[in-house]
Amino acid sequence: MDAATVKQLIESHLDNCQVEVQGEGANYDIAVTGEVFDGLRPVRRQQLVYGALADVIAEGSVHAVNIKTYTPSER
């Protein structure tokens, strides 16, 4: 797994979001900005991102993620 693949998975799951991914191997720092997070609590925001990665986390390709989420007005 590489950062570009992680980014592509998130972008395909969350429309109209800006996704930044850093890391390698199985550990990644992820920042996602999008209107989709407007009005959501932090836990729900992270659940949306985890949803995009559920399969690769379950299979062990991704082990550790640090997720930060923002609405465009928070950036």
Domain count, the chain: 1
Say how far apart CA 41 and CA 55 lie, in whole Å.
24
Q: Is the pTM of this model over 0.85?
A: yes
DSSP notation for 12-75: HHSTT-EEEEEEETTEEEEEEE-GGGTT--HHHHHHHHHHHHHHHHHHTS--EEEEEEE-GGG-
Q: Which domain holds residue 58?
A: 3-74
Q: Based on the number of CB atoms within 10 Å of its own CB, is 70 exposed (0-12), middle (13-18) or buried (19 or more)? A: middle
> What is the predicted pLDDT for the residue at 1?
86
DSSP, res 2: -
CATH number, position 69: 3.30.300.90
> For the chain (length 75 residues), average pLDDT per consecutive 10?
95 96 94 98 96 94 95 94
